[in-house]
Chains A and B, each alone.
Chain A
Amino acid sequence: MLGKPSRTGRTLQYLALAAYLIFLGFPLVWLLSTAFKPPRELVQLHPTLIPSNPTVQNFVQAFTEQELGRAAWNSLQVSLASAVLTVLVAMPASYALARFKSKLGTLALGWVLLSQLFPFVLLIIPIFLVLRQAGLANSHAGLVLIYVVWALPFALWMLQGFVRNIPRELEEAASVDGASRLQTLRRVVFPLLAPGLVATALFSFISAWNEFFFALVLIKTPELQTLPVALARFVGIEGTARLGPLAAGALLATLPSLIFFAFMQRRLSSGSLAGAVKG
């Protein structure tokens, strides 16, 4: 480090850090607190920051009354299917992108960046029409297809970075030993690629789990709706006592991505993911 900042400098830095902690942290504390408050505390005139009689009743209620349980189960199925499919489809393509320099690869990566530019509203109407023609508009299968396509660009980008980290010499050695290309892939590349595949699957799972817009537009049957859509519908129901189950449901909906981020935390905050992701 450079010469120590002055005492006032340090104090100011800590004040600023405290302000950030309050801004970032208090809304989270409030969500937690609301989720554990009994109805009586929810409707009281001046709510407290910490519930005096914490209860898990809101969680039970969220699952039984508002059918968030079924929505969570739907979300789980859709997200798992998306994760598995994304990995299966991205694995061969990322290998091709990393190992062969082809114009197609450059084109594919160009599309990744370009597709960021376009608002979903341009995509959603034609996608809706295509899916309706295939009879998949109001179904989980249709949703999974969209999520895979949506996760693919970033998944490819990430996964090809992992492939590049596998020394080419390993493959050449296997090939000199008489292994066919397929055997080389199966015995040498895939085992070494495991962490990358896990990361890709997690990424795809989380984007499907969190996705709202497509699910809102495409799924019309209430029994099929996913967790974010069910939660958003729940918001429409007014009444202060309802806030408890709503907070509980919201909290549970965050758990999967929170676990994912805890898993990736070190790579994220050290910035080394940038290395894994670079093209």
Chain B
Amino acid sequence: MTTLRVGKPHKARSDKLTIYLLLLPSLLPVLLLSVFPLLRGIYLGFTDARAGRNVDVTFTGFENYKELLGDEMFWNSFKIGLIWALGVTVLQFVLALGLALLLNQQLRFRGVARVLSVVPWAMPPVVVGILWKLVYHPDAGLLNEFFHRIGADGLRANWLGDFSTALPAVIIVGVWAGMPQTTVVLLAGLQGVAPELHEAAAVDGASAWHRFRHVTLPALAPVIVAITSLDFIWNFNSFGLVYVLTAGGPGGKTMLPMLFAYEEAFRYGNYGYAAALGNVMVVIIVALLAIYLRRRLREAN
């Protein structure tokens, strides 16, 4: 049923028809290529579907999930995915908040910083990957050359190829790529904080830190909760960046869940298993978000 706000009662039926006609061109492709595939994908997670044209698909219930529980590669990838998503989201938020606070001040070079803070956002993930591959390059890279010039040759490393540095190096790239958007959103939020509140607090003798802690942060809380939640979802589901940087290597040290699922589905043809992995990821994201949002809500009350 559709409830109409406008239009006189006798026009309601023709209005309803108009709405459906107007919505149909959008609705149809979304149903066919978004809603249906999603439901089908969730279902596939409970089957033994495999690649190939004439393969029988049978419903296997929780068979895939039992297998996942015992799959060491999955647990490994899941752990890496959590470190990646939490690491990137937290660092991204802290750095973006710092930058947003600076950009909200009357500082010189603010214009340059504003433009620079948006550029990474404008780059395709594949290009960001290439860019950082150049920075991390063991022989021709900016980072190693920098350490050489400051006389710290001992710090030179094969950043993306070394077991111990690969994941941190990739996380830094994630932060660089995602920080701009978070900064812009937080800056917009900061500009919405009423200056009167600050002035009142300043008159009461509150220090800068106190004003930040008790005026800015509470006013910014809804924006912070929204953007960190979205960032977390995006990061957990990200693919292209790390695919280009390391393709999950070295030795699976940066094998994010999405990369793992991609390999399962398109290298080994295990459609059902990959879909099951997708289902598990959705459940985990929803659970983590629920915990996070509930805690924030309780704090707000």
Contact = CB atoms under 8 A, between A and B. Distances in A.
- The finding on whether chains A and B are genuine partners in a shared complex, rather than unrelated, reads yes
A100 B4 contact: yes
B133 interface: yes
Given A92-B22, A235-B130, A126 B237 contact: no
Nearest to B264: A121
Q: What's the interface size class on A, roughly?
A: 35 or more
Summarize A's interface: helix, strand, loop or mixed: helix
A20 B198 CA distance: 26
Interface string A243-279: 1001100110110011011000100111100100000
Contacts of B199: 2
B3 A104 contact: no
A220 B275 CA distance: 22
Contacts of A2: 198-199, 202
A96 B23 contact: yes
B191 A271 contact: yes
A121 B130 contact: no
Contacts of B139: 45, 240
B20 to A, nearest CB: 8
B118 A268 contact: yes
A270 to B, nearest CB: 8
Contacts of B3: 101-103
Contacts of A235: 129-130, 133, 244
Contacts of B192: 271
Contacts of B94: none
Interface in B50-102: 95, 98-99, 102
Interface in A24-56: 24-28, 30-31, 34, 42-43, 45-47, 49
Contact of B230 (A103, A116, A125): A116
Interface of B: 1-6, 15, 18-19, 21-23, 25-27, 29-30, 32-38, 40-42, 44-45, 49, 95, 98-99, 102, 105-110, 112-127, 129-135, 137, 139-140, 142, 145, 148, 176, 179, 184-185, 187-189, 191-192, 198-199, 202, 208, 230, 233-234, 236-237, 239-240, 243-244, 257-258, 261-262, 265-266, 271, 274-275, 277-279, 281-282, 285-286
22 contacts: A13-B102, A13-B107, A28-B119, A34-B140, A96-B19, A100-B5, A101-B6, A102-B3, A102-B4, A108-B27, A118-B282, A121-B261, A121-B265, A122-B37, A122-B278, A122-B279, A125-B265, A130-B33, A216-B243, A228-B126, A235-B129, A235-B133
Interface of A: 1-3, 5, 9, 13-14, 16-17, 20-21, 23-28, 30-31, 34, 42-43, 45-47, 49, 88-90, 92-93, 95-97, 99-104, 108, 111, 115-127, 129-130, 145-146, 148-150, 152-153, 156, 181, 209-210, 212-213, 216-217, 228, 231-232, 235, 240, 243, 246-247, 250-251, 253-254, 257-258, 260-261, 265, 268-271, 274
